[in-house]
């Protein structure tokens, strides 16, 4: 994070630098992402005069980041400006339910699908952070060779954004819309492009959770939010995996 700058200012500067590494005719396709605060406010904050309550993120014991493959269209837009309480039903709903589930699960309490708040209320209570491995807008389905190529190309920027600016301690790695060989691709990108220096310190706790005890960072290997399956099962399976992780490790945060 740039000294004396807010998270927002640091991310804006990072993306300005990233754009300079791309040809001019490609820069307009880059989709900005990061810490998304617009949903907390009834009115989108003015880009020229942002004063975000960043303490909601920095002082939270659980800082949940969703690490996904690529933006679906939306060329030249900025996730940080979106009101995430509206929009695509499946994608946004799943992000919201996962977010609250990860925030409220404890050793003695594993929330069920029907106990989670509404999407609008969730995004008013908890800060949302989303980072895409590939910053160039794609389509409804990802070409994994292309995603890998871009993640490898921009790994310095991904490292800066996640490890130095946002500093999450829970990262949900949203995989492909395919439970076959591509299921753990985003997790692999996280290991190889962002946490390569501490990769050997992660221990597999269950089929969902990989934890680095020394750094206190949890990686969750997950479905993509848009994966087509029963929504309740999709929500509860991740939360159940996280609850099992808490029971096995004594996680206190």
Q: Quick one: pLDDT band at residue 141, thresholds 50, 70, 90?
A: low
Query: Please, which contacts does 105-110 make with residues 24 or more away whose CB atoms are closer than 8 Å?
Result: 105/239, 105/242, 105/243, 105/246, 106/246, 107/243, 107/246, 107/247, 107/250, 110/239, 110/240, 110/243
Q: How far apart are CA 248 and CA 130, in angstroms?
A: 27
* Residue 6: per-residue pLDDT: 86
Location of structure tokens 């999709």: 234
- Mean pLDDT of all residues belonging to the chain: 87
Location of structure tokens 């491995």: 133
CB 57 within 8 A of CB 127: yes
Task: Report which of residues 45 and 61 the model is more confident about.
Answer: 61
- Whether the per-residue pLDDT at 70 is higher than 50: the answer is yes
Quote the percentage of the chain above a pLDDT of 70. 86
Q: pLDDT per residue over 144-161, tens digit each? A: 889 999 999 999 999 999
* Residue 177: per-residue pLDDT: 47
Architecture label for domain 7-249: 3-Layer(aba) Sandwich (3.40)
Q: Quick one: pLDDT band at residue 106, thresholds 50, 70, 90?
A: very high
Q: Quick one: pLDDT band at residue 89, thresholds 50, 70, 90?
A: confident
Where exactly are the structural domains of the chain? 7-249
φ, ψ dihedrals at 142, nearest 5°: -100, 140
Alpha helices in the chain (DSSP H): 7-20, 24-27, 55-58, 89-104, 119-125, 144-153, 155-159, 185-189, 231-249
pTM equals 0.91
Q: pLDDT per residue over 1-49, tens digit each? A: 556 788 988 999 999 999 999 999 999 999 999 998 655 554 445 554 4
């Amino acid at each position: 994070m740039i000294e004396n700058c807010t998270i927002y200012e640091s991310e804006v500067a990072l993306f300005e630098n990233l754009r300079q590494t791309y040809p001019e005719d490609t820069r307009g396709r880059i989709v900005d992402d990061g810490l998304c605060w617009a949903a907390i406010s009834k009115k989108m904050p003015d880009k020229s005069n942002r004063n975000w309550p960043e303490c909601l993120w920095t002082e939270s014991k659980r800082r949940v980041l969703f690490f996904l493959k690529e933006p679906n269209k939306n060329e030249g837009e900025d996730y940080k400006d979106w009101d995430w309480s509206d929009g695509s039903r499946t994608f946004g709903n799943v992000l919201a339910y996962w977010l609250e589930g990860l925030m409220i699960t404890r050793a003695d309490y594993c929330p069920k699908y029907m106990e989670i708040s509404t999407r609008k209320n969730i995004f008013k209570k908890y800060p949302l952070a989303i980072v895409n491995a590939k910053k160039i807008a794609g389509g409804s389905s990802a070409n994994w060779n292309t995603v890998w190529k871009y993640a490898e190309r921009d790994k310095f920027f991904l490292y800066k954004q996640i490890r130095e600016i946002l500093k999450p301690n829970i990262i949900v790695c949203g995989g492909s819309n395919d439970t076959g060989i591509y299921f753990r691709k985003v997790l692999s990108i996280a290991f190889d492009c962002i946490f390569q220096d501490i990769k050997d310190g992660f221990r597999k706790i269950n089929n969902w959770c990989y934890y680095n005890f020394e750094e206190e960072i949890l990686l969750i290997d997950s479905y993509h939010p848009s994966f087509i399956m029963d929504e309740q099962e999709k929500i509860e399976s991740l939360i159940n995996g996280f609850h099992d992780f808490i029971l096995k490790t004594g996680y206190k945060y």
